[in-house]
């Protein structure tokens, strides 16, 4: 049973709080939605009509004072922070785990891809480069592989080939590890993508079917998209041919992976902004073979929340519901299932979900990694924080983006705010 | 006119990009101030005032010029040879310039009021601060040159200027050219 699918009951507006923080775990048979969350949803419903349509001085709308500036987007420097200034000592992980700096000087480090030889490729959103990290003679070497690309956020590695996603095209570099340091020219395999900057940067991944999956975001906060061109997930053959749409009604997914047990694809999706401090919440979604192929955007958010502009008369039951909710505006990005053997047995086949951290909130959430555990049927059993500490006193000291597993079972984590990659390991 | 401007820019390039040891910081900033105004207020058409800009905003713009992510003659040439350290030193130094002087000349009360309504509707102050002074990588727009603001807004709308982060593209999507004119007028006469 999906989590959090009960509509809020009227009359719960009193005593609402602003900061629901981390999502509570839901148990099968319960609706899994805390009263605080129900409250928050109800408050949204009561207040937003005057705010999202941009009318003046909405009653109870977003603050019109200095607190409002806490709602603005936060972008790190294009110049990486030096290793000694990285916030690694502030990061908290469960007992037995350790976080260390794996590589600094990786400008605007975003998506991660690890080769079978251990080279780590790192995409970027703001600096136009894909970097390669290698450990050579015990020393970490960070070098740009290619530069001058248009927001090359997405990278994927498969059988010697690196795939790179820019805003409107996908390219590949074959035998990439033989070409490090030679500024290889990527070969474009598909450029049939919209050119929109908004939600145009992409995460990519290769599925168990050996196809390349590419999401296309909605070109704005909230709008009715043309589903033939936007707000969907596509897949294609590894040479760029045979492109097809496999899911639609996603707003902006910047992370996905396949459940190693059920082989189903799971993806994070970022909820719309400017409705309320708390929501709608980001989603963890599952693409089921027999499920609905539309995930609700822009009509129904978080499985139970009809959009104030576009949701009138729509029915949330018409759309595939999320399997978990990840917090409002938390910017859930990269996610990977854990298949290694370094971490304790309870981590096997669980998923790490990275929350970049919110911008459209006065009291920020995110800047952490959540751990999702699954039932054998693929529903979410529990959701809890795994790594925290990037958010200190409502200010970011770093912003995590993506995770990737190394061959030894340790986990890498990228941070685009500081331009760094960390390594999380476990020892009894 | 255009050629002499370009020749001037090339001389300026030599100065800005000079190694730190051979030119003092003031000498290196001179070419910047020659166009952008000695005291933070620009008098050149479509050349923005730099006074009161947050250092991280200046850094991001200089970076974008160097990487040709933002195209604006002659800034791409000027920034071409700058190292990361140069970008940081120059942006910190320029951020110390006093905010631009706002002249009440030519203020149109009706336009200002329309601009105020549009600025509120499109939440300019949510990111740029309620007093439009900017912070972090978000630029100061209070007291900026009207022609530059209008140019910047139109470039965001046409897609010519992508922005370091595409936040402005989202904002201008629902703004009309009349909104641009009114908001630019409001901000240029901000007090």
What pTM did the predictor assign? 0.86
Q: Is A197's CB within 8 Å of B125's CB? A: no
Question: C-alpha angle A133/A138/A144, rounded to 5°?
Answer: 20
Closest C-alpha to A273, from A301, A241, A250: A301
Element (H or E) spanning B103, and its range?
none
* CATH code at position A244: 2.120.10.30
Closest C-alpha to B178, from B135, B124, B104, B115: B115
Listing DSSP states for A69-113 in one string gives GGGS-----SSPPPGGG-GGGG-B--TTEEEEEEEE--TTEEEEE
Q: What's the CA gap between A340 and A392, in Å, rounded?
A: 31
Listing DSSP states for A193-224 in one string gives S---STTT----EE-TTS-EEEEE--SSSS--
Element (H or E) spanning A162, and its range?
strand A161-165
Question: What's the pLDDT band for B16 if we cut at 50, 70, 90?
Answer: low
Q: Is B56's CB within 8 Å of A77's CB? A: yes
- Residue written as tokens 């370009």? B6
**By the 8 A CB rule, do A318 and A350 touch?**
no
End-to-end CA distance of chain A: 35
Which residues are within 8 A (CB) of B22 and not within 5 positions of it... i.e. 6 or more apart? none
Give the pLDDT confidence score for residue A32 in this predicted structure.
37
Average pLDDT over residues A135-142: 93
**Domain B2-94 fold:** Cytochrome Bc1 Complex; Chain D, domain 2 (1.10.760)
Pairing mode, if any, of strands A170-173 and A161-165? antiparallel
Give the chain A residue nearest B59 (alpha carbons).
Answer: A77
Under DSSP, is residue A140 helix (H, G, I), strand (E, B) or coil? strand
Residue at A184 is within a domain: yes
Q: Is B127's CB within 8 Å of A127's CB? A: no
Give the chain B residue nearest A55 (alpha carbons).
Answer: B121
Residue at A28 is within a domain: no
Give the chain B residue nearest A220 (alpha carbons).
Answer: B170
Length of chain B: 191
Residue at A293 is within a domain: yes
> Do B2-94 and B109-188 come out as alike in CATH topology?
yes
Average pLDDT over residues A5-13: 29
Domain encompassing residue A408 = 35-426
Residue at A4 is within a domain: no
Which candidate in A63, A79, A199, A396 is best for mutational testing of the B interface (most B CBs within 10 A)? A79
Pairing mode, if any, of strands A120-124 and A109-114? antiparallel
The dihedral of CA A88, A94, A95, A96: what is its sign?
negative
Question: What's the pLDDT band for A36 if we cut at 50, 70, 90?
Answer: very low
Q: What's the CA gap between A245 and A364, in Å, rounded?
A: 34
Question: What's the pLDDT band for B10 if we cut at 50, 70, 90?
Answer: low
Q: What's the CA gap between A119 and A142, in Å, rounded?
A: 10
Residue at A8 is within a domain: no
Give the chain A residue nearest B168 (alpha carbons).
Answer: A198
Smallest Cβ–Cβ distance between A68 and the set B60, B67, B130 belongs to B130
Domain at B109-188, CATH from 1.10.760.10, 1.10.10.60, 3.40.50.720, 1.10.540.10? 1.10.760.10
Residue at A24 is within a domain: no
Domain boundaries, chain B: 2-94, 109-188
- Residue written as tokens 């790190």? A76
A42-46: long-range pairs with CB below 8 Å, 24+:
A42/A8, A42/A9, A42/A10, A42/A12, A42/A13, A42/A16, A43/A13, A43/A16, A43/A276, A43/A278, A44/A275, A44/A276, A44/A278, A44/A279, A44/A280, A44/A305, A45/A8, A45/A308, A46/A13
As for how many domains chain A has, the answer is 1
Smallest Cβ–Cβ distance between A56 and the set B120, B126, B127 belongs to B120
| pLDDT at position A395 over 70 | yes
Interface of A with B (CB under 8 A): 54-57, 62, 64-66, 68-69, 71-75, 77-79, 126-128, 148, 197-198, 200, 220-221
| A79-116 as b/e: b if 16+ CB within 10 A | bbbeeeebbbeebebeeebebebbbbbbbbbbbbbbbe
Q: Is A55's CB within 8 Å of B135's CB? A: no
Q: CA dihedral in degrees (A294, A230, A154, A280; nearest 10)? A: -60
Q: What's the CA gap between B99 and B87, in Å, rounded?
A: 21
Smallest Cβ–Cβ distance between A75 and the set B67, B87, B164 belongs to B164
CA distance A71 to chain B (A): 6
Residue at A15 is within a domain: no
| pLDDT at position A367 over 90 | yes
Which candidate in B125, B156, B159 is best for mutational testing of the A interface (most A CBs within 10 A)? B125
Average pLDDT over residues A322-338: 96
Residue at A89 is within a domain: yes
Q: Is A220's CB within 8 Å of B117's CB? A: no
CA atoms within 13 A on the CB side of B11: 9
Mean residue pLDDT of chain B comes to 89
CA atoms within 13 A on the CB side of A6: 15
Question: What's the pLDDT band for A12 if we cut at 50, 70, 90?
Answer: very low
CA distance A126 to chain B (A): 6
List CB contacts (< 8 A) between A74 and chain B.
136
pLDDT in tens, B27-78: 889 999 999 999 999 999 999 999 999 999 999 999 999 999 999 999 999 9
Which residues are within 8 A (CB) of A136 and not within 5 positions of it... i.e. 6 or more apart? none
Average pLDDT over residues B119-127: 93
Given phi > 0 = left and psi -120 to 50 = alpha, else beta, which region is A229?
alpha
CA distance B157 to chain A (A): 12
Give the pLDDT confidence score for residue A52 in this predicted structure.
31
Average pLDDT over residues A265-269: 98
Which residues are within 8 A (CB) of A190 and not within 5 positions of it... i.e. 6 or more apart? A169, A170, A236, A240, A243
List CB contacts (< 8 A) between A397 and chain B.
none
| pLDDT at position A264 over 80 | yes
Which candidate in A54, A67, A126 is best for mutational testing of the B interface (most B CBs within 10 A)? A126
Give the chain A residue nearest B88 (alpha carbons).
Answer: A79
Under DSSP, is residue A168 helix (H, G, I), strand (E, B) or coil? coil
């Amino acid at each position: 049973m999906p989590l959090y699918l009960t509509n809020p009951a009227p009359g719960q507006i009193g005593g609402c709080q602003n900061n629901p923080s981390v999502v509570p775990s839901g148990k099968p048979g319960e609706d899994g939605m805390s009263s605080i969350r129900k409250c928050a949803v109800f408050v949204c419903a009561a207040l937003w009509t005057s705010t999202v349509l941009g009318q003046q001085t909405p009653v109870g709308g977003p603050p019109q004072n200095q607190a409002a500036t806490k709602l603005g987007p936060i972008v790190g420097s294009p110049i990486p922070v030096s290793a000694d200034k990285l916030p690694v000592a502030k990061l908290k992980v469960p007992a037995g785990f350790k976080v260390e700096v794996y590589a600094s000087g990786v400008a605007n480090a975003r998506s991660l891809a690890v080769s079978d030889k251990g080279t780590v490729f790192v995409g970027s959103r703001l600096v136009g480069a894909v970097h390669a990290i290698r450990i050579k003679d015990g020393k970490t070497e960070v070098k740009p592989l290619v530069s001058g690309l248009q927001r090359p956020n997405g990278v994927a590695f498969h059988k010697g080939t690196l795939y790179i996603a820019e805003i409107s095209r996908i390219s590949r570099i074959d035998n990439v590890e033989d070409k490090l340091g030679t500024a290889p020219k990527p070969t474009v395999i598909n450029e049939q993508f919209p050119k929109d900057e908004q939600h145009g940067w992409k995460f990519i991944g290769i599925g168990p079917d050996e196809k390349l999956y590419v999401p296309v975001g909605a070109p704005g906060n909230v709008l009715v998209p043309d589903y033939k061109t936007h707000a969907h997930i596509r897949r294609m053959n590894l040479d760029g041919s045979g492109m097809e749409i496999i899911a639609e009604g996603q707003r902006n997914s910047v992370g996905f992976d396949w459940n190693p047990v059920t082989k189903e694809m799971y993806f994070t999706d970022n909820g719309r902004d400017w409705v309320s401090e708390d929501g709608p919440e980001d989603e963890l979604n599952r693409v089921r073979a027999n499920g609905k192929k539309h995930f609700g955007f822009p009509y129904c958010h978080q499985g139970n929340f009809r959009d104030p502009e576009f949701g009138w008369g729509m029915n949330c039951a018409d759309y595939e519901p999320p399997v978990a909710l990840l917090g409002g505006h938390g910017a859930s990005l990269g996610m990977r299932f854990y298949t290694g053997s370094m971490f304790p047995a309870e981590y096997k086949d669980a998923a790490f979900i990275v929350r970049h951290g919110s911008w459209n909130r006065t009291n920020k959430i995110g800047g952490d990694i959540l751990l999702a555990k699954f039932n054998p049927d693929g529903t979410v059993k529990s959701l809890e924080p795994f790594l925290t500490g990037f958010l200190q006193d409502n200010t970011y000291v770093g912003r995590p983006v993506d995770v990737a597993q190394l061959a030894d079972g340790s986990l890498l984590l990228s941070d685009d705010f500081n331009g760094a990659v960390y390594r999380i390991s476990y020892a009894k | 006119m255009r050629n002499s401007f370009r020749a001037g820019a090339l001389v300026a390039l030599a100065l800005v990009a000079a190694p730190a040891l051979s030119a003092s910081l003031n000498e290196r900033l001179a070419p910047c101030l020659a166009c952008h105004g000695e005291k933070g207020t620009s008098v050149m058409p479509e050349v923005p005032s730099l006074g009161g800009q947050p250092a991280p905003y200046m850094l991001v713009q200089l970076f974008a010029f160097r990487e040709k992510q933002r195209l604006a003659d002659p800034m791409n040439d000027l920034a071409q040879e700058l190292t990361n350290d140069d970008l940081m030193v120059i942006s910190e130094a320029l951020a110390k310039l006093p905010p631009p002087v706002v002249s009440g000349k030519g203020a149109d009360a009706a336009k200002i009021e329309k601009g105020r309504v549009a600025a509120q509707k499109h939440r300019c102050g949510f990111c740029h601060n309620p007093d439009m002074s900017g912070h972090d990588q978000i630029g100061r727009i209070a007291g900026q040159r009207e022609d530059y603001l209008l140019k910047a807004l139109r470039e965001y709308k046409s897609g010519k200027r992508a922005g370091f982060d595409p936040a402005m593209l989202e904002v201008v999507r629902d703004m009309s050219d009349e909104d641009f004119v009114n908001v630019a007028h409001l901000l240029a006469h901000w007090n």
